[in-house]
């Protein structure tokens, strides 16, 4: 019997800008064998486009390894940043954790 | 208008310089009773201009200065300038890097960039004020 697919969670918080780029590059790396990953950005109070570049790189890395990724975005500033950058369709974005996990469970199954 | 109508603040351009400048901008606009969603958007756009200045203006290793100037003009407009003494480089020109200028242009009513003697990004935003409680 195969084990149930696992969902990894990467949680980020606070203000994500240029000053935290190195930290973001370190955190947004595929380390473990997860079938899918939730990037929980619900506690991010501010983000600039540094985070978008890192998320795009992370998404591309994950796609190469067939790992599904979803973003949990609940704050207006980050939600609008993504829209202003024209990236609304570039990610699987959810504002509800349960919905994001359901998506990832199905994607991993 | 409530409070001061101008803000001018500067910092040495380092990686962590943008945060206090963004906070100063947000506090200034909040004191002037600018609508909160509008403050979010303006801080987002100005944050991109600040990040661009910090990241690229002093690529030659100099310790440069960045300055933020804000003026609240009637009726419901905000004029913002981000100035540095270095070279402007659009992040879009760099492979895989950000979306800064696209974001600024999506939010601002107008954007102009003056590169004579350093770089000044000049932005005009709609900045409606909330009505004071009766």
SS3 B75: coil
Looking at residue B93, its pLDDT comes to 46
Nearest CB among B16, B47, B107 relative to A48 is that of B47
CATH of domain B6-126: 3.30.565.10
Chain B hits for A76, Cβ within 8 Å: 37, 40
pTM of the model: 0.89
Instruction: Determine the Cα–Cα distance for residues B62 and B53; give it in Å rounded to an integer.
Output: 13
Q: Which residues of A touch B (CB under 8 A)?
A: 15, 17-19, 21, 46, 48-50, 52-53, 56-57, 76-77, 80-81, 84-87
CA atoms within 13 A on the CB side of A47: 29
Out of A9-13, B1-5, B39-43, B98-102, pick the least confident.
B1-5
Looking at residue B118, its pLDDT comes to 86
Instruction: Determine the Cα–Cα distance for residues B27 and A56; give it in Å rounded to an integer.
Output: 32
Q: What is the pLDDT of residues A7-21, one digit of tens each?
A: 999 999 999 998 999
Q: What is the pLDDT of residues A40-96, one digit of tens each?
A: 999 999 999 989 999 999 999 999 999 999 999 999 999 999 999 999 999 999 999
Chain A hits for B47, Cβ within 8 Å: 17, 46, 48
Q: What is the mean pLDDT of residues B97-108?
A: 87
Which CATH architecture fits A7-108? 2-Layer Sandwich (3.30)
Going by their DSSP bridges, the two strands B65-73 and B77-84 should be labelled as antiparallel
SS3 A64: helix
Check if B54 contacts A (Cβ < 8 Å). Answer: yes
Mean pLDDT (chain B) is: 86
* B100 has pLDDT over 70: yes
Q: What is the mean pLDDT of residues B42-70?
A: 87
The alpha carbon of residue A23 is apart from the nearest alpha carbon of chain B, in Å, by 13
ipTM: 0.88
Looking at residue B95, its pLDDT comes to 40
B94 pLDDT band (50/70/90 cuts)? very low
């Amino acid at each position: 019997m195969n084990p149930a697919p696992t969902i990894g969670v990467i949680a980020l918080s606070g203000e994500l800008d240029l000053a935290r780029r190195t930290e973001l590059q370190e955190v947004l790396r595929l380390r473990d064998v997860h079938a899918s990953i939730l990037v929980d950005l619900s506690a991010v109070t501010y983000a600039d486009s540094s985070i978008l570049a890192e998320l795009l790189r992370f998404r591309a890395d994950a796609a190469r390894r067939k790992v599904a990724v979803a973003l949990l975005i609940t704050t207006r500033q980050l939600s609008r940043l993504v829209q202003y950058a024209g990236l609304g369709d570039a990610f699987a974005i959810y504002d509800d954790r349960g919905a994001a996990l359901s998506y990832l469970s199905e994607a991993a199954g | 208008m409530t409070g001061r109508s101008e803000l001018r603040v500067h910092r040495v351009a380092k990686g962590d310089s943008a945060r206090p400048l963004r906070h100063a901008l947000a506090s200034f606009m909040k004191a002037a009773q600018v609508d909160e969603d509008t403050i979010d958007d303006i801080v987002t756009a100005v944050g991109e201009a600040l990040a661009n200045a910090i990241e690229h203006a002093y690529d030659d290793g100099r310790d440069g200065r960045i300055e933020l100037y804000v003026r609240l003009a009637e009726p419901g407009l905000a004029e913002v300038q981000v100035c540095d003494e270095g070279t402007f480089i659009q992040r879009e020109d760099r492979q895989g890097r950000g979306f800064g200028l696209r974001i600024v242009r999506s939010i601002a009513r107008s954007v102009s960039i003056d590169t004579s003697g350093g770089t000044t990004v000049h932005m005009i935003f709609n900045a409606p004020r909330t009505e004071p409680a009766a």
